[in-house]
Structures are given as structure tokens and as C-alpha cells.
A and B are shown apart, each in its own frame.
Chain A
Amino acid sequence: MITEPILELPVDEAYQKHLYTLQKKFGIEYFNARFNVLSATKIHINKGKMQENDSNNEYGFSVQTFVDGGYGFASSNEISLSELDRIFERSANLAAWSSRKAEKKFQMKSYDPLKISYVQEQKKNLFDVSNEEKIQFLLDQDKAATGYDPRIVNTNSYYIDRISHEIIVTSDDRIVDKTESLARIMILTNSMEGGILQEARQSKGITGGFEIIEKADTLGFDAAKEAIENLNAKPVKGGVFNIIADPYLSGTFIHEAFGHACEADGVLAGESQLAGKIGQRMGNENINVIDDPTRAGDYGFVRFDSEGMEAHKVYLVKEGILNEFMHNRETASKMQIEPTGNGRAASFSSIPMVRMRSTSIEPGDWTFEEMLEDLKNGILCESWEYGYTEPAIGQFMFKMARAWEIHNGEKIQLLRDAALSGMMLDVLNNITAIGNKKLLDDGTCGKSGQKIPVSSGSPYIRINNVVIGGL
């Protein structure tokens, strides 16, 4: 199935049998071993000049072991049976040591054996595309940005792709042999006029192959247009406002402010305000929040997670009621429910933990025009630069890319450098309108030092009584 020699892994049945022998030898209750090889490309062009033209080839494996409530984890860059002996033993010894200081013993649930092998679809295989072709596409976007207006004074254009072949073997005889790929393009632009400098960013990321260019062929133009428009933006005056958040900002909001608090590892650690609140009302009955990894092509698309479990759609909030959390094997075992396939690791050398995939608010029935007219006076917030949350106290914060001052339902002034914050348990209650069309955005989510690709999205939403920070 794997046709590219660079993606071959020397892992056969002998490795699988050996793992089970080692499991018995060290008295391990549960393990997962992940063997991985990946080939990645990174291209960076700065105003037509090549800055980076890189090929990355990572290779190695890890073993995570569990015994008596304690975990051990070890990894190596060398794949061989003798190295498997060494790494398994190290992981098992760490697990045994951890178990002596672990909180409480719990049974890690086993699941039905499974053997599956798949290659994620690429409409245009990344290996069939020359590096020159990738460079040319990115250069075209870079030129589209620089050529848009003489006030564009700088561009940084990035292309990344990655094909990863991973074989996961678990102690309950689940063997998942998967080849996954993704690609992402990002254009950053800077504009300048009369001593005023502004910036803008546009990106598009997919799981799949070089078909990304079909979705990214206006990124350079769009980033330049936005940077030029931003030259007219004025700083926001801080205060409390009713706002409309666009789908990209709303998506980041639901990911940061709510999604992280729905990760069951944080719930069990006492670090989420949502602990013990399943079944409680979070907002009005029109609010539905999902984490849905099943849409092929989304940047957060996942078929099987890093623990060899199927990735399911999760209803975090159903008709305004907190419905369920996201789980990996450990949290599901502790809470005695089924895992949801949210156990993801950034690389073979990272421990799988509960992570989001594609998190979004489901559409309602307002049109954007109706929402704007009904807002009358307030702020229309567009896109985002970054956001974060503190799940234990429920406080969140987002930096928006830009915003509009709205007066009598009309956009009257472009605003910049605005931040909004709030308390998670209040904000869903303060959503007073949900738009009828959902859009998804690509992003990178960081947790405990691991960065993974995710999607997030929403329709336009209106939120009342939001604190906006400005100058």
C-alpha cells in the first residue's frame, strides 16, 4: 500500500509478537507502540526571495506503558528489535515507578481487536508534485500580494506539507497502519502609509494533498487587500459592548473558551469549570456545539486517533445542555464510558492526550443582515490573531484581527488591536443570535507543548455584554 520507499517502516508481525512477549515479561496492563516515518516540506519566501526550502524526514518509535495506575513513556530514533527491547523496558520501568506515586488504581478498558490499514485520500498526491511546482505556486501568491498595491512593503509566504506513515500496535491487539497527509499555505503582509504600519494574515489548511491550491489561489490577494484596508483602522476604545463575532472568531472562541474545558483530562484533573455539570444548561436551546472529525479534507479530520481508536463525532452541547466530554482511553476508562477518539499526539515522541479535532457551533436561523440590523450599535469582530483560556477559572481572551464599529446597523469605522475577554459560563448564556451558515477555519492548537492541526468554526453569532480591551 505504501509506494514511496521513504515512507517504509521495517515493522512486521515479528515486532507485534515481540511486543506482546515484552508485555508479559514486564507485567504491563496496557501499552501502545507507535512506529512512524514522515516526510515534510517547508518553503518560506520573503518578497520573492527564498528564505527556507526544507525537507524534513523524521523516523522513530515510542512505547507508552500502563501498570497499576502509572504511565511510562520512552522513544527512540532507531527502529530495530533490539532497540524495541531497550525502549519497552525503559517505559515499563518508568510505569512501575509512576504507579507507586499514582493517585489511584484503575482498570484500563480493553477493546475489540482490530486490524486496519488505510491511506488518506489525496486528490493530487504530494509526491507527484515537484518542489519547483510548490515554489512556483507560493511565489505566485507572494507576487499577488506584493503587486496589489505599492503600499505593501513586506510579505512572508509559507507553504508546508507532510505525509506521515504510522503503525500503531496496542495491547488489546488493535493494529492501525495509517498514512495521513496535510498541506497548509499562509501569507502574511505588511502595509505602510505615512508612517503607519499595518499587517494582515490569510491561511488555508487541509488534510489531503496538493489540491490545496484550489482553495488557496486568492490568499496573496486577500492578505494584501486586508493589509491595505487596515491602514484606515483606528484603535478600539475599551469598554463593554454587544458584539457580532464572525465565523472565524466564533470558531476560535468555541475552541478556546469552551472546547478546552470539555477535554476530559482537564475535567478529571479538577482544572475545568465544567466538572460535574453534564446535564446542566449552558445556554439557550438553539446552541449546539460539536467536535466532528469525520469530514474528510478538514484540517482537523481524523479517522483513528493515536491510541488506535475510531474518531467519533461528539456533541458537547445539545440544545443548550452540556451533553458529553471528549475522551481518550484513560479518561474513558476512569469515567466508565466509551472513548471518543480524541487521544492525539503531535508526533511519535509525544504522549497522546485528549485533544480537539474539528470543533464548531451548529448553525441557527439568523441571516447576517438581520443580525446586523438588530444589533443597532456595537462592534462587529472579524477573525482572530490568537486566543486562550484558563479552564479552571473559566476566563478566556481573544485577540481579533480587526473589527468594525456599528452604528444604526451600519459599519462606520474599521478598528484594530482589539481584544475581548469573558467568563466561559456566562458567555454561552449571552449568545442572543446564531447565523444560518457555518464556516470552518484551519488552525494549530497547543497543549502541554504539543501542537496539532485542528479546525474550528461557527456561523456569525451575537453576544451581549462583552468586555473589549483597547487603548
Chain B
Amino acid sequence: MDSLNYIVEKAGSICNSFPEVKSWDVLGGEITASEVVIEKGFLKTAEHSTQYSINIRLFGEKGKTGSVNITNLSLPFLNSSIEKSIDLMKGSLPNWDFKSLSHPADNYPNVQTPYDSRIKTLSVDDMGEIVDQFMNVKVQDERIISVSGNFSSADVNYFILNSNGVNLQNKASTLSLSAEITMEEMIKGNKENSVGFEGQSYVFFTQVEAEEILGSALTKAKMGLTKSKISTDLYPVILPPQAVMLFFNKIIASAANAQAIYENRSFLRNQVDKQIASEQLEITDNPWLENGMLTFPFDMEGTPTRPQKLVENGVLKTYLHNTYTANLFETVSTGHASRSLGSSVIGIQPSNLLVRPGNIPFDHLIEDIKTGVYLEASYDSPNFVTGEFSGMISAGYLIEEGIVKNALRESLFGMNLLDFYNNISGIGKEISRYGSHYAPFMKIDNVKISSKK
């Protein structure tokens, strides 16, 4: 097997030798990953892998395209794969919207992707310390029937080359830890179950706080044991930071994806420079954030990144572009191209997203709510075309007289997202991080909750 760097460079020079290939790009990557799975408080399995991939995209006349992905890094296989890709390109339909690939920048920002070299050689003893903490949780409460979790690490080294002269290399490291605690208790003659889940991502191994993750999962599991129902009606809702991340950061960034806008698949079409939310809302996309999970000097096409306001004073400021959509909209790429290793699809994704905190302490945000809902999590996603969102409250609690009380079951929420964003009635001052998202608490008025009571 030849080295990744050599094969990537070789792929570029082979592509250049075919005159029918008008432009090309190559993404080559190596991932070294480890994972431990914990089940019922004990280690279930440990795994380690090193995976290579090279994805080559070719473009001919009229935007005709063919691409190939290989994991076998041998020169003869590379040659035959590029020849196959050329055949695919020749038989392709045209795409008149394709204009060009990205061009190299004169200057890239002086931003370092945070990287922990220790991740690549993480030892079983390092991971063992985390497993031990999971094994100790069960003794803390006799109602715990299961403690499960997952700890994974990945060291990524990748190269981006294209026919316009982009030739870049970068490294990244990620770790993720999750815990799921199941509890059981007899309450008023009924056996009640509850699950508490918590998860977090990190760049550096020294950031990993298993105790904090387990503690949060345990608290949530305890809170879920006693249950309530709520009548179907409109209620004020408190969103903790992880829910703000879902309802605001992720949804707005996805809906501002310029490809979705172009295809009429987003409720944010024609909304740039228009009020989409309460004036209190400000969301910044910051790829230069120090030690951010998604801090990069350039995107996956090699376009330089820059911090940008996504929403300011409740006004949508920009769509997120890669080179392809920038050409469609006759603008420049915003540096948001995404591409998974091994994939020929260039997508669009935000970098680190920060919701500006307000100045209301959490206690003040909740104190006036007579009956409301603390909506912590939902696994649902909205209808991005209409902006309507009905889903299940996977983790949520009844608020009575300003106090978070019992867990809600079989309860669903329903909303039009633009109404929801305009119904922000308060933003908390405390801020938390979940992966690449930074968000405060929020209070939203008049949210439809449906339940069986």
C-alpha cells in the first residue's frame, strides 16, 4: 500500500494528463479511530481502526461529472479507478449550473484548527479511566438498572487538491462521550422507568469530564421517574441551551443552506435582510473561535473562512454558501463547504454557532410561569419546506408556579417556526456549550402542547 500523500498527489497529476478533464478535485483522508462501548456499567467492546479513502471528482464540458471513491491505496487501482471515473463523466448528463471549483486564496487566515496529537495513540489505559467511572455509577443509587455509554476518538488527517491550484492539508481531533442511565422505581404501586441521557464532544483529551456527563445523565434519569400529563393548550416554554441548539442553531443554519433555498426547500427562502425572529436574537457563525470544535482556516473546498453574523437583531443576514451555490446566486462562497471523507458530495454546514446571551438569570426567566413546559429534548426534525414543526417531547418537564416538576409523557409540541422565533420573550444570561454550539436558556410564549390529559 502506498502512502496517502503520495497517492493524492499522484491522483492530481493523472487527472491533469487527460485533456477531456476540464477540472478536478481530490480529497484524501486518513482516520484513526478508537471506541469503547459500555453496557450495564461494564465494558462491552473495544475497537480500533485506521481507514483511508480517496475521492476524486472530475468535470468535463458542460459540467458533466464523474467521481470515484477508493480505499485501496495502490497505484494500479488508482489508475483504473480514474479511468472509470472518466467513463462516468463522459456518460454523464450536463449540469449547466456548474461554473468552477474553488480557487486558492492569496492569504488564508492565521487560524489553527485545534488538534490533540495524543488522540491518535490513545491507550487502553486512557480509555480505562473513563470506563471505571461508568462502572462506579451504579452503586450510587439502587434504582439504577442500567448504565450504558460510548466513548470514541478520531484523529483525522486530510488533503484537498484541485485543478485550480488548491493544495492544502489539515489535521483535526475529536472525542465524544455519551452516557445513558436507566432507572426503575415503584411509585404508587406502578413500576416507573426513566432514562437520562447526556453527551458532549471535545477536541482535547484533557477536556473530557466523564463525571460531569454521568452526573447530568443521572440527574435527568431521577427527574424522569415521576411523571405528569398536561392538557392540550398553548403554554410558555423554557428551552435549556441544548434545546436552543436544536430549535435555533441547527434549524436556522440548515434552513439558510443556499442549496435548499435555491431548490425551494426552505422556509427561509426570500428572507435575507428580513425579520425572522424577535429582535433579541443574534446568532454568529465563528470558524475562528479559539479551541472550537469546528474551527478551521479553510472549508472542505479550500475556501478561506471568516466570522459572520447569521442573525442580527432578529434579521437573517446571509445564506450559507459553497462554491457551487455561490455561482448559482452570483455571489462568493461564504466558506461553508462540507465534505465527508470518502464522499463526492459537497454540502454546506455552519462552523461554531453562538447565540448571544441575554441578561436574565435562569431563576427570573422561569419565576412567573404558572403552568408551562421545560422542553429539554426532541429527536424530531421540522418540515423545512413549510417551517412547521410537530414532534414529541423526548425529555421535558412540567413547570408549575415557577418550578420545574415532573416529567411529561406522551406529549407533543406543534409550531410554525417563524411564529416560534418571534415569540421569544426572554433570553438567559448563562451560556453552555454542546459540541460546536453555544447557547443560553430561552423563554418562548404560546407554544402548542398536545397531550392525553
Contact = CB atoms under 8 A, between A and B. Distances in A.
Interface stretch (A98-106, A306-314, A336-344, A431-439): A98-106
Contacts of A397: 379-380, 391-392, 394, 412
A78 B1 contact: yes
Contacts of B96: 49
Interface in A447-471: 448, 465, 467-471
Given A154-B265, A349-B49, A469-B390, A421 B410 contact: yes
A49 B93 contact: yes
A390 B379 CA distance: 10
The 5 residue pairs across chains A and B that have the minimum distance between CB atoms: A469-B412, A238-B450, A270-B146, A103-B42, A73-B47
A366 to B, nearest CB: 26
Given A97-B46, A270-B146, A470-B450, 12 more contacts: A49-B95, A52-B65, A52-B344, A52-B345, A53-B92, A55-B67, A55-B81, A78-B1, A94-B45, A153-B264, A470-B448, A471-B415
11 contacts: A53-B66, A53-B91, A60-B51, A71-B44, A77-B1, A93-B124, A98-B36, A98-B43, A154-B263, A197-B265, A197-B267
A423 interface: yes
A131 interface: yes
Contacts of A393: 193-195, 224, 409
A239 interface: yes
B84 interface: yes
Contact of B40 (A198, A269, A465): A269
A3 interface: no
Interface stretch (B70-78, B113-121, B158-166): B70-78
A430 B51 CA distance: 48
Contacts of B388: 235, 416-417, 471
Most A CB within 10 A of own CB, among B70, B88, B415 = B88
Nearest to B451: A467
Interface of A is mostly: strand
B94 A395 contact: no
Interface of B: 1, 36-37, 39-52, 63-73, 77, 81, 84-85, 87-89, 91-97, 124, 128, 131-132, 135, 145-146, 148, 150, 180, 182, 193-195, 224, 232, 263-265, 267, 342, 344-345, 379-381, 383, 385-386, 388-392, 394, 409-416, 448, 450-452
Contact of B146 (A154, A269, A467): A269
A48 B96 CA distance: 10
A273 interface: yes
B396 to A, nearest CB: 11
| Best-surrounded residue of A54, A448, A465 (most CB of chain B within 10 A) | A54
A190 B42 contact: no
A55 B385 contact: no
Interface in A400-426: 416-419, 421-423
B88 to A, nearest CB: 5
Nearest to B43: A101
A231 to B, nearest CB: 11
A55 B84 contact: yes
B450 A239 contact: yes
Contact of B412 (A75, A351, A421): A421
Contacts of A139: 93
B51 A102 contact: no
B386 A417 contact: yes
Contact of A77 (B45, B72, B128, B451): B72
Interface residues of A, number: 85
A94 B232 CA distance: 52
A46 interface: yes
Contacts of B69: 54-58
Contacts of B41: 103
A228 B190 CA distance: 49
A76 to B, nearest CB: 7
B414 A469 contact: yes
A346 interface: no
B73 A77 contact: yes
Nearest to B152: A449
A448 to B, nearest CB: 8
B413 A469 contact: yes
Contacts of B92: 50, 53, 135
A228 to B, nearest CB: 14
A59 B450 CA distance: 50
Nearest to B345: A52
Contacts of B84: 55
Contact of B44 (A53, A90, A102, A236): A102
Contacts of B124: 93-94, 97
A72 B47 contact: yes
A114 interface: no
Given A98-B46, A154-B263, A269-B40, A53 B65 contact: yes
B40 A471 contact: no
B412 A49 contact: no
Contacts of B414: 235, 238, 417, 419, 469-471
A46 B67 contact: no
Contacts of A78: 1
A351 B45 contact: yes
A190 B265 contact: yes
Contact of A467 (B381, B391, B412): B412
Nearest to A394: B193
A192 interface: yes
Nearest to A273: B193
B369 to A, nearest CB: 21
A422 B411 CA distance: 9
Contact of B93 (A42, A45, A268, A390): A45
Contacts of A55: 66-69, 81, 84-85, 88
Given A46-B263, A101-B135, A467-B452, A392 B193 contact: yes
Given A130-B91, A135-B93, A470-B414, A73 B45 contact: yes
B60 to A, nearest CB: 11
A72 B390 contact: no
A235 to B, nearest CB: 6
